Amino acid sequence: MKTDTNISGAHGAPVVALEKASMSFGPVHALVSADLVVRRGECIGLVGHNGAGKSTLVNVVNGRLTPTGGAVSYSELAAKASARNNAHAHASGVRSVFQELSLCPNLTVLENLRIPYRSMPRNGWRKTAKKMVMAALDQVFPNHGISANAVVGDLTIAERQMVEIAIAFSARDARANLVILDEPTSSLDAAIAQQLLEHIRTFCTNGGAVVFISHMLGEIFDVATRIVVMKDGQITEDRPTDGFTREGLVDAMGHVASHEEAGPNAHAKRNLGDVVVQLPNGLNARKGEIVGLAGLAGHGQAEALANYYLSETSAWRSTKTPKAAFVAGDRARDGVMPLWSILRNMSLLTLPEFSKRGLVDRGSEQKLADDWKAKIKIKANSLTDPLLSLSGGNQQKVLFAKALASSAPVVVMDDPMRGVDVGTKKEVYKMIRSEAQNGRTFLWYSTETDEVLECDRVFVFRDGEISAELVGEDITEENMLRASFEMQEAAE
C-alpha cells in the first residue's frame, strides 16, 4: 500500500492565507501584522533566529492559535462555518511536525497513527493502521528498519522523528495538503535527511505544500522554492530562493553573534593534559580535549555517552564537585524539568555548589542565572517564567547554561544543537573552545558534520563499535563517511 501523494486542487492555489495577522500574549507581541500566502506546489523555507516568531507564525497557520489581530483564511471550511481555526485547518489538510515530538511513548508506532486518524473503521483497525504507517515510512524513508509494532518509547530519537514525519505525510481521513516541518532533520544523519528532502520535492511536485523550518541553511537552499525571513515577530523578507545568497540570508536574519571559522585548526595551539576518560570500547579523552563521536545515527554513539555519564553520576548523594555534566539533544526526555521555571532549570546542577547545610543561597543562584542569561543570550522576559514559555532553541540554551555553569571537569553532549540558530551555534563553539582552553574536557556526539569539525579528535562509530579514529587534518566529511559504511573492497 502506498501513501497518496496526489493532492486535490490546482498548483498555485492557496491552502492558507494570513492577512495582517498578529498574536500578543499580554505585553509580548510574538507576531506582528504578518502577511503570508502558502500555495500548492511550493516549499517555503522559514528562517530566523531563536525567538524570532517562527513557532507563533506556524501555530497561527495550523489553527492552534487564533490571532489577536488580522485574519486567517483556509482553502476548505469545516462542517460548521462557525468552527474554530483548527477545525478549518484540519479540513484543509494542514499538518504539523514540531521540534518537540508529540508521539505517545507508551503506544506502538501503528497506535500513534490511529490517534490523528479520526474516521478509521473500528473493525480491523490495527491491520489498516499497520499498512498505512508502513507505507508512509517506506515512501519517505526507504529501508528504515522500523517495526509498526515497536513501542515508541523504545525507539531512538531519530527513529521517533522519522515516525512522526511519516505520519504527517500519510494518507488518512483528510489529505495532507500542507505539512509544516519544524527542524525535521535535527536528529537525522545526512543520508536519512536527504531521503526526507527528496520526498518533500516529490510531495510539492504533486501539488502539496510544505513550510520548512531549519537552522541548517544548506537544507533551506536545497529544498525551498521561496524563503521567508522573520525577525522580532515580523516577516522582514519574502522572496524566491534564487533571490538570496547564503551571506545575504544570514544578513537578512540579523547577526546575533560573531562568526568564526570551524575546524580542527582552531584548537592547534592548545596543550592537552592527561587522559581523563577511558572507556572499554576504546574511546578516550585528555584534559582540555574536545572529542567528537560521529557516524550514522543509531550506531551506538548515544549509548556510549549515556553509559559513561551514568557511571560517573549514578551516586544517590549529590556533591559540590560533580564529575560530569550532560547536555541532552532530546531535552523533553532527558534534559529539562518542563513544569519548573527557567531559573530553576538553569541552577539545578549547581545548587550543591552554593548551598550550605541544605539551604540554597538564593542570591548566588540568581546571580549565576543572570550571568548565563547574558552570556548565552537567552531570550526571556523573566527567569521566573515557565521554561515552556521559551522557544525550543532557547530551551536548549538553558541546558548549555546549566552544564557550563557547573564545575564538572567533563561535559557530555548528545547531539546538543537541535533547534539552535546559526549565530548561537557559533557563540557556543566559542564558549566550548574557551572552556577547553581552561582544562575542561568535552565528549560531543553530533549528526552535523560542521559541528564534528570543531573537535580535536573524532571517533567514528559503526554497528556499535569504533571503526576509525581521526585526528587533525584527517577530520573530514569524506573520511567520516568512509568509516561509517562497510567497504565492499578489501583494504589495500
pLDDT digits (tens, 9 = 90+) for 4-38: 433 445 678 899 999 999 998 777 788 999 999 99
Grid cell 499498512 — which residue? 131
What's the mean pLDDT in 143-159?
92
What's the mean pLDDT in 334-338?
75
H/E element holding 292? strand 290-294
Residue 287 pLDDT more than 70? yes
Residue 461: C-alpha distances to residues 104, 156, 285, 484 (Å): 30, 16, 16, 7
What's the mean pLDDT in 287-315?
85
Residue 129 pLDDT more than 80? yes
What's the mean pLDDT in 193-208?
95
Task: Residue 412: name the closest of 295, 319, 329, 351 by CA.
Answer: 329
Residue 488 pLDDT more than 70? no
d(CA 91, CA 79): 8
Grid cell 481555526 — which residue? 85
Residue 156 pLDDT more than 50? yes
pLDDT of amino acid 61 = 94
CB 287, CB 281: distance < 8 Å: no
The total number of residues written for the chain in this structure: 492
Instruction: Please name every residue paired with 39 in a beta bridge, in sequence order, or none if there are none.
Output: 14
CB 449, CB 190: distance < 8 Å: yes
Least confident interval from 61-65, 327-331, 440-444: 327-331
H/E element holding 212? strand 209-213
What's the mean pLDDT in 225-242?
94
pLDDT of amino acid 258 = 40
Domain 262-323+409-492 annotated CATH 3.40.50.300:
yes
pLDDT of amino acid 228 = 96
Cα-only R_g, the chain: 23
Residues 6+ apart with CB under 8 A from 257: 377, 423, 424, 426, 427, 430
The boundaries of every CATH 3.40.50.300 domain in the chain are 14-106+166-253, 262-323+409-492
Q: 14-106+166-253 has which fold?
A: Rossmann fold (3.40.50)
What's the mean pLDDT in 58-62?
93
* Cell output for 189: 544523519
Q: Which range has the top average pLDDT, 46-60, 93-107, 149-163?
A: 149-163
Residue 99 pLDDT more than 60? yes
